Amino acid sequence: MKRREFITLLGGAAAAWPLAARAQQSGRLPTIGFLGQSTRSATSEWTTAFVQRLRELGWIDGRNVAIEYRWGEGRDERFAQIAAEFVRLKVDVFVTAGTPQVLAAKQATSVIPIVFAVAGDPVGTGLVASLARPGGNVTGLATLAADLAGKRLELLREVVPGLGRLAILGNVGNPLSVLELGEVRAAARALGLEVHTLEIRRGQDIAPAFEALKGQADALYVCIDGLVNTNRIRINTSALGARLPTMHGARETSKREV
């Protein structure tokens, strides 16, 4: 997800809000519930871009709009808790990114608008009824993470010509990661590769997964996910220690620095 696309989507959505009049009538500032997928530091570029674009459109936090920030911190169970909290706070719009977060918001409310910066396969994961007629209260941009899995694997084979054994790391608590895992497995087997799947659900699952993988893979494919992004330093350090060439679906998750 490019920074420019992010600020255009969310800033454009903000400019079109009919919520301002409703909020003013109730005597309070229109309120955005910002559900961050990981931590404030991990998504600082996104939040900075979001606030900047809002300001350019005349929306200034604390003056004519209020932003309530909450962070998943790499724990999927927090998404439902935060979504329920936003409903209690009566926010005027949810802003988030990532399939599990959007699903949590959708399950919490069918009335409050939900705008997502990026989510995977919105039809396949049940976010919308169809692309032509999405219906409901959810809108945003979709990622082609699962669809591009085969192409990423081809690029990985170019980097590792002798690739015969592939490890795939994915958060099976994320419907998009499950789809991507399936796509990568199918592509890998079509290429005659031996596949080892590392299924995680929490940050604590990462170290045992790498421990179990020792000596069984020539390269690692990491599925796009908020949990992965939160723990990207741990994953990349472990992959480096295991001398595993690694393919990520997003540039941000390939960084080792904080």
CATH code of the domain in which 170 resides: 3.40.50.2300
Q: Which of 102, 128, 143 is the last residue of a domain?
A: 143
pLDDT band for position 6 (cuts 50, 70, 90): very low
Cα within 13 Å of Cα(245), Cβ side: 16
Q: Is the pLDDT of residue 103 over 50?
A: yes
194 lies in which domain range? 149-254
Q: Mind listing the pLDDT tens digit for each residue in 26-74?
A: 578 999 999 987 788 877 888 999 999 999 999 999 999 999 999 988 7
Q: Is the pLDDT of residue 247 over 60?
A: yes
Percent share of the chain, pLDDT over 70: 85
User: What is the percent of the chain with per-residue pLDDT over 90, rounded to a whole number?
Assistant: 52
**Does the pLDDT value for residue 257 go beyond 60?**
no
Pair (183, 123) in one structural domain: no
Given 121, 143, 165, which residue is the final one in a domain? 143
Number of domains in the chain: 2
Average pLDDT over residues 191-195: 94
- How many Å apart are CA 138 and CA 99, to the nearest integer? 12
Q: Does residue 188 sit in the same domain as residue 209?
A: yes
Average pLDDT over residues 186-195: 93
The model's pLDDT over 130-186, given as tens digits with 9 standing for 90+, comes to 888 888 999 988 876 667 888 889 899 999 989 999 999 999 988 888 888 998 999
Stretch among 8-22, 119-133, 219-233 having the lowest mean pLDDT: 8-22
Predicted pLDDT of residue 3: 44
Tell me which of 143, 172, 196 is where a domain ends: 143
Residues 133 and 161 reside in one and the same domain: no
Specify whether 64 is located in the same domain as 100: yes
Residues 22, 134: one domain? yes
pLDDT of amino acid 1: 41
Residues 47 and 171 in one domain: no
Q: With a cut of 70, say whether residue 2 has pLDDT above it.
A: no
Mean per-residue pLDDT, 103-114: 95
Q: Are residues 52 and 122 in the same domain?
A: yes
How much is the pLDDT for 160? 93
Together in a domain, 111 and 173: no
Q: Taking all residues of the chain, what is their mean pLDDT, rounded to a whole number?
A: 85
**Are 105 and 217 part of one and the same domain?**
no
CB atoms within 10 A of CB 134: 15
Residue 10's pLDDT band (boundaries 50, 70, 90)?
low
Same domain, 91 and 11: yes
* Same domain flag for 127 and 154: no
Residues 94 and 159 occupy one common structural domain: no
